[in-house]
């Protein structure tokens, strides 16, 4: 999954996407580099970030989703949003997946996705982006996140979304310290029996900076590749990344070695 951020801080993702045309070009490039899905987001989810209004988010994402869906009909576009109104408008504009970092906890969200036939990504997050990194604590992070995801799958199925359209994500960096992130990455094999597709998003995240000493997010490529390779080798089906070309090359090699062990 290639990341297409349409937020004012997206310059720190490696290049300012100044308008919809820029974002569409960027998405097309990621697809050309091998992305199977493009994730379009109009609200920053970085630690400490504030929410934006529905209208602002719609203005940012809808033209990009329309443009990408028309230009690349074979590449599913996902909308990264926590807002049911934005999800509905994005699905009307051509999105085929809703990536909800709120895990479908807003009671309207699963209802918006269910009848549409779209897929959904249900991610674990502690509290919200504004406060999630304020001393996150768990008695047992793997057990708690796994139980949350099991319960969200059940809720999604109840809302009419079949398991094959559900993807789960432990939410690396969303209310987790370095040890929590590492424990959750080691626990990828424990997520597979839940029956949904498993996704990991760790690209350029803070814990990679801590582990490598690289402060600038756009320079965290090697650490991001290491996480993608390990996650896929442990059974993740999807990785959400900024650096698609490099990740695709790394995964071609690691998949050639281990994928048949993972898939049985
Ligand atoms: C929007 N976004 C940022 N990081 C993410 C992650 O790790 N997973 C998902 N599903 N979405 C993310």
Q: Using the atom order of ligand 1, give the atom closest to the CA of residue 121.
A: 10
Which residue in this structure is represented by tokens 């690396």? 172
What backbone phi and psi angles, to 5 degrees, belong to 249? -65, -45
Output the CA 257–ligand 1 centroid distance in Å.
27
Q: Using the atom order of ligand 1, give the atom closest to the CA of residue 99.
A: 10
Output the CA 39–ligand 1 centroid distance in Å.
9
Q: Is the CB of 103 under 6 A from ligand 1?
A: no
> In this structure, are strands 197-201 and 97-100 parallel, antiparallel, or unpaired?
unpaired
Q: What percent of the chain has pLDDT over 70?
A: 97
Output the CA 173–ligand 1 centroid distance in Å.
9
Q: What is the pLDDT of residue 14?
A: 46
The alpha carbon dihedral of 200, 201, 203, 208 has a sign of negative
* Distance from C-alpha of 44 to C-alpha of 56, rounded to nearest angstrom: 12
Reply yes or no on whether the pLDDT at 264 is more than 90: no
Q: Is the CB of 99 under 6 A from ligand 1?
A: yes
* Distance from C-alpha of 189 to C-alpha of 116, rounded to nearest angstrom: 30
* Distance from C-alpha of 182 to C-alpha of 172, rounded to nearest angstrom: 9
Banded pLDDT at 10 (limits 50, 70, 90): low
List CB contacts of 137: < 8 A, sequence separation 6 or more: none
Is residue 67 within 8 A of residue 24, CB to CB? The reply is yes
Is residue 108 within 8 A of residue 127, CB to CB? The reply is no
Q: What is the pLDDT of residue 263?
A: 78
Q: Using the atom order of ligand 1, give the atom closest to the CA of residue 200.
A: 7
pTM confidence score? 0.96
Please name the residue whose Cα sits nearest to atom 11 of ligand 1: 101
**How far does Cα 163 stand from its chain's mean position?**
18
Reply yes or no on whether the pLDDT at 17 is more than 70: no
Nearest to 22 by CA among 10, 36, 37: 10
4-8, 65-69, 76-80, 172-176: range with lowest mean pLDDT: 4-8
Q: What is the total residue count of the chain?
A: 264
Interval 136-161 mean pLDDT: 98
CB atoms within 10 A of CB 182: 16
List CB contacts of 5: < 8 A, sequence separation 6 or more: 13, 17, 41, 44
Interval 74-81 mean pLDDT: 98
CB atoms within 10 A of CB 210: 14
Residues labelled as active-site residues? 205, 240
Q: What is the largest CA-CA distance in the chain?
A: 47
Which residue in this structure is represented by tokens 């991001």? 224
Interval 184-204 mean pLDDT: 98
């Amino acid at each position: 999954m290639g990341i297409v951020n349409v937020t004012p801080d997206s310059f720190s993702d490696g290049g300012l996407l100044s308008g919809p045309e820029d974002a569409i070009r960027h998405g097309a490039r990621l697809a050309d580099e091998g992305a199977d899905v493009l994730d379009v987001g109009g609200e920053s989810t970085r630690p400490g970030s504030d929410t934006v209004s529905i209208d602002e988010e719609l203005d940012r994402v809808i033209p990009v989703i329309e443009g990408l869906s028309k230009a690349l009909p074979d590449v599913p576009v996902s909308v990264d949003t926590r807002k049911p109104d934005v999800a509905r408008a994005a699905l009307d504009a051509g999105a085929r997946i809703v990536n909800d970092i709120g895990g479908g906890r807003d009671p309207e969200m699963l209802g918006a996705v269910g009848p549409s036939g779209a897929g959904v990504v249900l991610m674990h997050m502690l509290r919200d982006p504004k406060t999630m990194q304020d001393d996150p604590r768990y008695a047992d992070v793997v057990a708690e996140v796994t139980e949350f995801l099991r319960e969200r799958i059940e809720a999604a199925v109840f809302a009419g979304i079949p398991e094959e359209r559900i993807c789960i994500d432990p939410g690396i960096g969303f209310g987790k310290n370095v040890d929590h992130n590492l424990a959750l990455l080691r626990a990828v094999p424990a997520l597979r029996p839940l029956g949904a597709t498993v996704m990991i998003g760790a690209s350029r995240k803070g814990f990679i900076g801590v582990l490598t000493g690289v402060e600038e997010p756009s320079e965290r490529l090697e650490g991001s590749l290491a996480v993608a390779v390990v996650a896929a080798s442990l059974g993740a089906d999807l990785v959400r990344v900024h650096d698609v070309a490099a990740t695709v090359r790394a995964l071609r090699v690691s998949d050639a070695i281990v994928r048949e062990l993972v898939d049985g």
